[in-house]
Amino acid sequence: MNQPQVSNYPTPGQIEALVLEHYGLAGSLQALVGEVDLNYQLSTVRGDYLLKISRPGADRTHLEFLNDLHAYLSTSLPAAETPQVIPTLQGSSMMDFELNPDQTCIARLYSWLPGRLWSSVRPHPSKLLEELGAKAGAISTALAAFEHAAAHRDMHWDIAQAAWTEGMLNHFSGEQRQVLDFFQNEFQNIQPEYLQLRKQVVHNDVNDNNVLVDFVDDLPTLSGIIDFGDAIFTQLINDLAITIAYGIMGQDDIGHAAGQIVTGYHQQCPMTREEINLLYPLIAMRLVISVCKAAENRRLEPENAYLQISETHAWTVLEQLRSLDSEAFTYGLLDACGFLADTQSRAAEAIEACSLLALFPQGMFKAIQVLDLGLESRLMTPNVLAGDHTVFDASIQKMKDDASETLFAGRHLEIRPAYSMEIDERIGPKGRECRAVHLGLDLWVDPETAVLAPRSCRILEINRSDENSSLLLDLQSAASVYLLISGLEPASLGVDVGDMIETGTFLGNVGQKEPGESFGGPLNLQILKHPFQVIKNIPTRIYPSERALWKKLTWMPQQLFQELDIPVVKHHTLFDLINTRRKHLGKSLSISYDEPLYMLRGMGVYLIDAEGQRYLDTVNNVAHVGHEHPRVVAAGQRQMGLLNTNTRYVHHKITELAAALLETFPEPLSVVHFVNSGSEANELALRMARAATGQKDIIAIERGYHGNTQACIDISSYKFDGKGGQGCPEHTHIVPLPDAFRGRYQGPECGDRYAEHVLEQIAKIQDLGGEPAAFICESIISCGGQIELPQGYLNRAFESVRQAGGVCISDEVQVGCGRVGSHFWGFQIHDVVPDIVTIGKPLGNGHPLAAVICTGDVAEAFANGMEYFNTFGGNPVSCAIGLEVLDVIREENLQQHALEVGNYLKKGLKELQTKHSIIADVRGQGLFLGFELTDAEKKPLTRKAGYLANRMRDLGILMSTDGKDNNVLKIKPPMVFSRENADALLMRLDQVCSETLMQDD
Ligand SMILES: Cc1ncc(COP(=O)(O)O)c(C=O)c1O
């Protein structure tokens, strides 16, 4: 604990005695952090208090000022939100005590506010940021009329008095020096306006160690703001700047975070446009003070770490501020206060129209065609999403060749999935987001095409870069309209800044776009409502969370270019879809996550939602070789165009697939029946077992799931023992989940003990006069919580069942097709050969294709004369897809890949386990892994598991929970999941496991 280093202070015991004497409070003290005062938490039977002891020689006038301020605040703010002064038994607001004859200390006692320090809480969601702004704003409003002579004082931490930091600059070098110089300069530039701003007494130190956060129903809420020791009479805006400077620490999207704080502050303490306009340099200036103070303190008090507490974070935020576009940042803050008008909806006539075709030499283009490059565009094929520019460029070129007089244009504010696949990502307000939104009307025009002024205008700005230049034209319309043209060849520019030019004036030629450079058109037009000063900072791609702002900063292209006929794309909202789904679909369907997802595209290990957000999928073992694998898609499309019919006609695809599948199985598994789902496969397997044995009774595993048909539900304790279940049916016999970690027998040697329960159930069946028809088991039990079967278990269970005349069914619906890495089928890990194997999910890579593979004997017994007809099972399209999936697994070496990446990930998870004790067990094989959250007594941490899955979704990673107590996180991604994906997963798991709600009990 860092306390200011002062010698001669009384011991905690002595202080406790003083407190008892002067306040009548008996309690114990615990030291807290502090910069100036010695701070203690005093715990008494009446509750907690904050005791502050000033250093010897403290300015009594200042302390009186603080007491007056508290007294003033308590008349207008709820007592629970700011500390209340507790008087001594004599009614005094301070307690003096002598350290020695020459030194007196002053102690003050305050009410204790509950909560944790903001700096120790992670994460800080949008609503909490807004609450922070609101609480800080409410304090400023409460202090608006507070006057005090002592509030007018000299202070290094006052932004208005930040000039001293200039003298510190030579303590810095390199990039740090550049950042400081930049903000000093910005601060200088705003002085004339800044000095005019209104002043009042403000808190002046709403930093991350002076803000308290409480948790209500697992939601963080702001419980109070403390420590008014830095209160001062200064520009009101400084207080907001300070609140932002610390509130945005740790945020990826500081623009949004600042906007939330401003929204809250402005609601409680209305700001002016002029004040908001100056926030950017003022926020930075507070951080400049912070890093300069830290440098100074390092020299003066190297031991006091508290004095440097915010330094690293301050540098990070300074760098973040430096690298963003300050104009867009400020517009975002103005928007947060409602200062930006939304003119999108205004009639197009509001701005004076001009012709898009007039941008090019007369007659060059006669028509315009607007392209769809959005999430469901036919141009965005799996190959294009995989980054294949050649395919994309060739499609566009073909369209151009087919219609040479047509100008092809792309939409402004369109979400482009091809952008989603690129690495540009950050954690935004709603979680992880990709820079997927295109800004501007992009045009596919050949290099060297002349671009002309569409009407008389003034050249406001020119940005000349090496390859690509842009011009900002002031179209001098009644409403502000600025046309930014990007993509011009730098050497060709025919105009200069300040030129007033006529319609048709040559501006420049379209530049050369490198092949594969971008999925946007070479020439881009943005129609802005505001004259940006630094046009090189205006992006052509933004994050989805920035869309609302940019809608306000730009005109829609059709508002300026009226010949543009942009088809309206029907956008479904999540809200509407959920409502319609509720209305029209069965209520037993569930939706994942607290905040449901609306997915529109799949690509490899990723899914892309309707906002263009890309999610790393660690859940979907159905998309085995990757979502929308181009080869699998093409195989299905090709066969769909040729023939799709049932198995009553002979077709080579079904026999080819049967042969290819059987190659992966050991003898005597030699006969295949194709079906459409895992449920159907298990249903058929049960019929076969019953046909082969003439018996009805099935032995199944506790918490097992085998499908949704009646016969499958009857053997799935996951269902019949779960919500809405009717309990175990007559002919089902459940054996305990062989969970070596938390089950009734534990440790690596428990296989035999669990297997004895199979024998026990056989005996029970025999007692009732029957014999077992079958024993059904997954090779790694999925719904049970990724339970690896203990050694020897399957072997012994199979042996017992066979001895009683039953058959053994291996349900490989989840784990099959190479997923376990070491083998192609999960049962092979246990060195057994089942009589029947059921497979499903991975075989069709998302297409409904499943199969039952059995021994010749079982097949013979089943073929008793009754035809087995399945309308869709084994149709040529499904079989073409299945064949392609098997080929891809082999050619892309995915089984070996699953082994290597799975081992790598498992090792990483075990390392995380050493850091986060709630990760109690890590298990699984290949890319079928899981980890279980429990406390030290192995009690399941179900809520934390749910929190983890939901937070991971926010961070762009899809995970699911399962197990008896829903406390196991399952990892079973598409098999193309890479080491980089594993690193991303581990990094985010580490982050979330470190969050506040994962740590507390
Ligand atoms: C182990 C197991 N078997 C069978 C099934 C049923 O498969 P389907 O949903 O394709 O009918 C499932 C589905 O989750 C499963 O996990």
814 lines ligand 1 (CB under 6 A): yes
Predicted local confidence at residue 519, as pLDDT:
85
At residue 116's C-alpha, the angle toward residues 115 and 118, to 5°, is: 120
Distance 678 CA to ligand 1 centre (A): 5
Predicted local confidence at residue 6, as pLDDT:
54
Distance 681 CA to ligand 1 centre (A): 9
Predicted local confidence at residue 309, as pLDDT:
65
SS3 of residue 746 by DSSP: coil
Give the DSSP letter string of 152-172: S---TT-GGGGGGGGGGGGG-
CB within 8 Å of 102: residues ≥ 6 apart: none
If one counts every other C-beta atom within 10 angstroms of the C-beta of residue 31, the result is 13
Distance 675 CA to ligand 1 centre (A): 13
Determine which residue's CA is closest to atom 14 belonging to ligand 1: 707
Q: Which token pair is 778?
A: 């997954």
Distance 841 CA to ligand 1 centre (A): 7
Predicted local confidence at residue 348, as pLDDT:
47
**CB of 701 closer than 8 Å to CB of 808:** no
Atom of ligand 1 nearest to the CA of 680: 11
CA distances from residue 633 to 514, 627, 646 in whole angstroms, order as listed: 30, 10, 21
Peptide bond into 123 cis (omega under 30): yes
**CB of 930 closer than 8 Å to CB of 948:** no
704 lines ligand 1 (CB under 6 A): no
Dump strand ranges (E) for 867-927: 919-925
706 lines ligand 1 (CB under 6 A): yes
Distance 872 CA to ligand 1 centre (A): 18
**CB of 35 closer than 8 Å to CB of 4:** yes
* Residue whose token pair is 């050649």: 390
540 lines ligand 1 (CB under 6 A): no
List beta partners, residue 428.
431
**CB of 249 closer than 8 Å to CB of 208:** yes
Alpha carbons within 13 A on the beta-carbon side of 887: 13
Over the range 812-824, which residues count as b (16 or more CB within 10 Å of their CB) and which as e? bbbbbbbbbbbbb
CB within 8 Å of 409: residues ≥ 6 apart: 356, 368, 369, 370, 371, 441, 442, 443, 444, 521, 557, 564
Predicted local confidence at residue 465, as pLDDT:
83
Give the DSSP letter string of 814-825: TTTTTTTSSSSS
Distance 846 CA to ligand 1 centre (A): 13
Determine which residue's CA is closest to atom 7 belonging to ligand 1: 678
Predicted local confidence at residue 568, as pLDDT:
79
CA distances from residue 610 to 158, 441, 544 in whole angstroms, order as listed: 46, 21, 10
**CB of 550 closer than 8 Å to CB of 542:** yes
Distance 748 CA to ligand 1 centre (A): 28
Dump strand ranges (E) for 515-640: 523-528, 541-542, 599-603, 606-609, 614-617
Of 147, 259, 220, 81, which Cα lies nearest the Cα of 1000? 220
Atom of ligand 1 nearest to the CA of 704: 1
Determine which residue's CA is closest to atom 3 belonging to ligand 1: 706
Determine which residue's CA is closest to atom 8 belonging to ligand 1: 678
CB within 8 Å of 682: residues ≥ 6 apart: 706, 707, 709, 711, 712, 715, 776, 809, 811, 813, 838
| Phi and psi, residue 415, nearest 5° | -85, 120
Distance in angstroms (rounded) separating the CA atoms of residues 825 and 779: 8
Distance 584 CA to ligand 1 centre (A): 25
Predicted local confidence at residue 602, as pLDDT:
95
If one counts every other C-beta atom within 10 angstroms of the C-beta of residue 58, the result is 15
840 lines ligand 1 (CB under 6 A): yes
Determine which residue's CA is closest to atom 15 belonging to ligand 1: 706
Q: Note every long-range contact of 74-79, with CB atoms under 8 Å and residues 24 or more positions apart, other chains counting.
A: 76/142, 77/138, 77/139, 77/142, 79/111
Distance in angstroms (rounded) separating the CA atoms of residues 383 and 387: 7
At residue 388's C-alpha, the angle toward residues 386 and 390, to 5°, is: 165
List beta partners, residue 962.
968
Distance in angstroms (rounded) separating the CA atoms of residues 37 and 994: 31
Distance in angstroms (rounded) separating the CA atoms of residues 506 and 897: 57
* Residue whose token pair is 């103070």: 293
420 lines ligand 1 (CB under 6 A): no
Tell me how far apart the terminal alpha carbons of the chain are, to the nearest angstrom. Answer: 23
Can you say whether the dihedral through the CA atoms of 388, 389, 395, 401 is positive or negative?
Answer: negative
SS3 of residue 220 by DSSP: strand
**CB of 661 closer than 8 Å to CB of 883:** no
Distance in angstroms (rounded) separating the CA atoms of residues 309 and 294: 8
If one counts every other C-beta atom within 10 angstroms of the C-beta of residue 276, the result is 21
- Residue type at position 656: E
960 lines ligand 1 (CB under 6 A): no
Predicted local confidence at residue 298, as pLDDT:
84
Q: What's the average pLDDT block by block, 10 residues per block, for the chain (1001 residues)?
A: 56 88 94 80 94 86 94 88 91 85 86 93 96 98 96 97 96 96 98 98 96 94 94 98 97 96 98 98 98 89 70 95 95 96 55 93 96 94 87 93 96 92 82 92 96 96 88 88 95 95 97 80 94 88 94 93 84 92 95 92 95 94 96 97 97 98 98 98 98 98 98 98 96 98 94 98 98 98 97 98 98 98 98 98 98 98 96 98 98 98 98 98 98 97 97 96 97 98 97 92 61
Distance 843 CA to ligand 1 centre (A): 12
Distance 877 CA to ligand 1 centre (A): 21
- Residue type at position 257: A
Determine which residue's CA is closest to atom 2 belonging to ligand 1: 706
SS3 of residue 463 by DSSP: strand
Distance in angstroms (rounded) separating the CA atoms of residues 434 and 421: 8
In the DSSP assignment, the letter for residue 421 is: T
Distance in angstroms (rounded) separating the CA atoms of residues 660 and 983: 35
Predicted local confidence at residue 1, as pLDDT:
40
707 lines ligand 1 (CB under 6 A): yes
Distance in angstroms (rounded) separating the CA atoms of residues 502 and 452: 10
